[in-house]
Amino acid sequence: MVRCHLTVIWLKLIFLLQGISRNHSDAFKVFAMNEVSIEKPSLVAEIPNAESVSVFMDQVSDLIKLVDSRDIVELQLKQLDRELVIKKKEALPQPSTSAPVFYAPQTTYSPQPPTTNVPAPTSSTPSASPAALPAPAKPKSSHPPFKSPMAGNFYRSPAPGAPPFVKVGDKVQKGQVICIIEAMKLMNDIEADQSGTVVEILAEDGKPVSVDTVSVLLFYTHHSFIFNS
Amino acid sequence: MLFVTSSPRFLSLIKPLPFRSLQNLGFSPKNLCLSTKMESESSTKLVLCGKSAVEEELARCLKTNNALKLPDGSPVTVCLHSESDSAGNDNDDVFRVNSYMNSISTSRFGRLLVYSPRLASTHDVVANNFGELPIGSVCVADVQLKGRGRSKNVWESPKGCLLFSFTIQIEDGRVVPLVQYVVSLAMTEAVNDVCRRNGMPSLDVRIKWPNDLYLDGLKVGGILCTSTYKSKKFNISAGIGLNIDNQKPTTCLNAALQRLGYAANQLQREDIISAFFNKFEVFHDIFLCQGFQALENLYYKTWLHSGQRVIVQEKNESEDQVSENVVTIQGLTPSGYLLAATDDGQICELHPDGNRYT
């Protein structure tokens, strides 16, 4: 009985991934290489009902979208005796290792704040705020953020397949175009408002960014370069 | 006019090669000689004209300092309209600069004119010289060789099209996407205005969201806006192509008037573009002071979509499932997307996608 349920969930999860990949073709490769599996049915003490399965799947779906939309390479959640790990291709040392996903129907998952630039998984407790997506802004005063000046779709390169305007580690001069934001077919070349080094790119290519929230932080630049100009 | 090729929703930032002819012609000495000659002939002629002494002085500075450049670095020949031979030229194919200047009554827009009988793209001229030209400057061409459509689309630009681009500067990023609606509206109102003043019936030019102009179900024009965010300001280049006298490949305004029994060539480019700037300046000020809401009713009267039923395709979790929902268009959302409602009253926001819509 338990196994039967899990099979259903597993299939759903696969569909989910495919669905996401379809919608964001640029994410396809990443997702196709993702490994998500569900193991250890023995951990499940109670047989889940349909509703809780659905709720759980929605939560997992949100988490996967979250991981997909950010520069998060690996997300690991531990709650009570259950654990959920979502790894992107980049996080997998060998293609053979699969990341276990432990299923827990009664558990409410809250995404943890993204840990950036950390290749190895860090175990951390889920954040206290439910539902809300974590703010990607990591308060790092030495890295002033570049905020999106407008809402629209964020593009990293001037044309599909073309090299991106900037990469992490690039030194950017004030006035250099760093991305395109498109809204209602109106293309906006966005120039850097100060010189600096790209520490991290938080927005995902082809995905919407907003002007209102802190989630629009695109770039961190080093102070040391700001004063060079 | 009109579009060729490809749907990628990106601007091409690949600059055209300055010496294309050289590339195409190979390396034989004879051909090389020919290509050198072609280069010297390919210099783009730009004629500058100002509404008042202020703009005339600016034009003189631009000429003296050789300030105007083309994106591909190809040669430019700049002259002042007041000093050129073509002053007073009444040839139908040539933009009548004096007629235009006498008809505009604006205080900022359209007052410095860069006219060219033939150039690659008016959009490139204003976008590439944004910092040199005062805000509101306009570039008009009789013929474009590489007219810009959206993305990598080419805007065919033969004689008979009104082709121009001008500059706008805006600080609030939230209203930037709405600028093209204001531009569209100013153009439809300009056409109405010129028809009315000439005692002709109003042509029913409509806006196809987000940036096309339609007449009798056919595309007659389009608006292309691009912008660069620089020093906390959006430098917007707005380009318009409108088939006034060129029927290919769709229709044109004068053909519609002829069908209504009027003589040929009723509408002149100079009348339409001057009416456009007179309208645009008013709309622009309303837009910045009161927001797009103040223009919304007029916009809804002019666009094609009120109450329109459209099918929205939505890809579901499973790749095999594409659900189709019929929705009714209600208007625009505050950020400028389409506002639609499903039959059971759910409100949704529709985004443009690629070249097609609906």
State the pLDDT at residue B34.
Answer: 39
Domain boundaries defined on chain B = 9-17+308-352, 28-302
- Does A132 contact B at CB distance below 8 Å? no
Spatial neighbors of A194 by CB under 8 A, at least 6 apart, are A144, A174, A221, A226, A229
- Does A175 contact B at CB distance below 8 Å? yes
Residue A78, beta-bridge partner list: A83
Where helices occur in chain B by DSSP H, the ranges are 20-25, 29-41, 53-64, 97-103, 122-128, 179-197, 253-259, 269-290, 293-302
- Of residues A160, A182, A189, nearest to B229 (C-beta): A189
Query: Which residue bears the tokens 């604006």?
Result: B106
Contacts of A183 in chain B (CB under 8 A): 176-177, 335-336
DSSP A61-86: HHHHHHHHHTT--EEEEEETTEEEEE
Mean pLDDT of B46-66: 96
Mean pLDDT of B96-113: 97
Q: Compute φ and ψ for B64, nearest 5 degrees.
A: -60, -40
Q: Does an H or E element contain B237, and which?
A: strand B233-243
pLDDT tens-digit readout, B18-33: 333 222 322 333 333 3
Residue B146 has pLDDT above 90, yes or no: no
**C-alpha angle B260-B264-B266 in degrees, rounded to nearest 5:** 80
Least confident of A182-196, A215-229, B162-176: A215-229
In whole angstroms, what is the distance from residue A209 CA to residue A21 CA? 19
pLDDT tens-digit readout, B302-346: 999 988 898 887 766 566 677 788 899 999 988 888 899 988 888
Q: What percent of chain B clears pLDDT 90, i.e. is strictly above it?
A: 65
Alpha-carbon distance A26 to nearest alpha carbon in chain B (angstroms): 13
Dihedral sign for Cα atoms in the order B23, B29, B35, B40: positive
Contact yes or no for A159 and B13 at CB 8 A: yes
State the pLDDT at residue B41.
Answer: 57
The more confident residue out of B135 and B93 is B135
Residue environment code for B89-100, b if the CB has 16+ CB neighbours within 10 A, otherwise e: eeeeeebbbeeb
Q: Compute φ and ψ for A135, nearest 5 degrees.
A: -70, 125
State the pLDDT at residue A225.
Answer: 30
- Asked if residues A104 and A82 have their Cβ atoms less than 8 Å apart, the reply is yes
The more confident residue out of B80 and A70 is B80
Alpha-carbon distance B79 to nearest alpha carbon in chain A (angstroms): 31
Least confident of A130-144, A214-228, B1-15, B308-322: B1-15
- pLDDT bin (cut points 50, 70, 90) of residue A92 is low
- State the DSSP code for B136: T
State the pLDDT at residue A142.
Answer: 56
State the pLDDT at residue B17.
Answer: 30
In whole angstroms, what is the distance from residue A210 CA to residue A150 CA? 6
Tell me the pLDDT of chain B averaged across its residues.
84
In whole angstroms, what is the distance from residue A40 CA to residue A50 CA? 20
Closest chain A residue by Cα to residue B228: A189
- Of residues A19, A183, A191, nearest to B228 (C-beta): A191
The more confident residue out of B241 and A16 is B241
Spatial neighbors of A211 by CB under 8 A, at least 6 apart, are A147, A148, A149, A150, A151, B173, B174
Residue A192 has pLDDT above 60, yes or no: yes
Mean pLDDT of B102-129: 96
Structure-token pair, residue B131: 């910092």
Residue A2 has pLDDT above 90, yes or no: no
- For residue A37, how many C-alpha atoms fall within 13 Å in the half-sphere facing its CB? 10
In whole angstroms, what is the distance from residue B86 CA to residue B152 CA? 34
Task: Look at residues B302, B293, B291, B307 and name the one whose alpha carbon lies nearest to residue B339.
Answer: B307
- Does B316 contact A at CB distance below 8 Å? yes
Least confident of A115-129, A195-209, B84-98, B130-144: A115-129
Residue B16, beta-bridge partner list: none
> Hey, of B11, B317, B350, which one would you mutate to test binding to chain A, going by the most A CBs within 10 A of its CB?
B317
pLDDT tens-digit readout, A25-57: 333 222 323 334 333 333 344 455 777 777 777
Contacts of A188 in chain B (CB under 8 A): 176, 226-229, 234
- pLDDT bin (cut points 50, 70, 90) of residue B91 is low
State the pLDDT at residue B103.
Answer: 97
- pLDDT bin (cut points 50, 70, 90) of residue B282 is very high
Task: Look at residues B54, B13, B46, B34 and name the one whose alpha carbon lies nearest to residue B136.
Answer: B54
Interface of B with A in 8-47 (CB under 8 A): 8-14
Terminal Cα distance for chain A, rounded? 67
- pLDDT bin (cut points 50, 70, 90) of residue B263 is confident
The more confident residue out of B97 and A209 is B97
- Of residues B11, B150, B179, nearest to A180 (C-beta): B11
State the pLDDT at residue B102.
Answer: 97
Task: Look at residues A35, A27, A113, A117 and name the one whose alpha carbon lies nearest to residue A71.
Answer: A117
Residue B266 has pLDDT above 80, yes or no: yes
- Of residues B232, B234, B315, nearest to A23 (C-beta): B315
pLDDT tens-digit readout, A105-126: 333 333 344 444 434 443 444 4
State the pLDDT at residue B86.
Answer: 55
Contacts of B317 in chain A (CB under 8 A): 12, 15-16, 18-19, 61
How many A×B Cβ pairs under 8 Å? 107
> Hey, of B14, B170, B227, which one would you mutate to test binding to chain A, going by the most A CBs within 10 A of its CB?
B227
- pLDDT bin (cut points 50, 70, 90) of residue A8 is very low
- Of residues A61, A149, A151, nearest to B229 (C-beta): A149
Closest chain A residue by Cα to residue B231: A193
**C-alpha angle B199-B202-B203 in degrees, rounded to nearest 5:** 130
State the pLDDT at residue B319.
Answer: 62
State the pLDDT at residue B181.
Answer: 97
Q: Compute φ and ψ for B300, nearest 5 degrees.
A: -65, -30
Look up the CATH number of domain B28-302.
3.30.930.10
Closest chain A residue by Cα to residue B317: A19
Spatial neighbors of B316 by CB under 8 A, at least 6 apart, are A19, B322, B323
State the pLDDT at residue A219.
Answer: 57
The more confident residue out of B41 and A14 is B41
State the pLDDT at residue B4.
Answer: 29
In whole angstroms, what is the distance from residue A85 CA to residue A43 CA? 16
Closest chain A residue by Cα to residue B173: A150
Contact yes or no for B13 and A23 at CB 8 A: no
- pLDDT bin (cut points 50, 70, 90) of residue B285 is very high
Identity at B11, one-letter amino acid code: L
pTM of the entire predicted model: 0.68
Contact yes or no for B227 and A15 at CB 8 A: no
- Of residues A61, A184, A187, nearest to B226 (C-beta): A187
Least confident of A136-140, B39-43, B176-180, B214-218: A136-140
- Asked if residues A140 and A220 have their Cβ atoms less than 8 Å apart, the reply is yes
Contact yes or no for A150 and B173 at CB 8 A: yes
Q: Are strands B161-170 and B233-243 parallel, antiparallel or unpaired?
A: antiparallel
- For residue B68, how many C-alpha atoms fall within 13 Å in the half-sphere facing its CB? 31
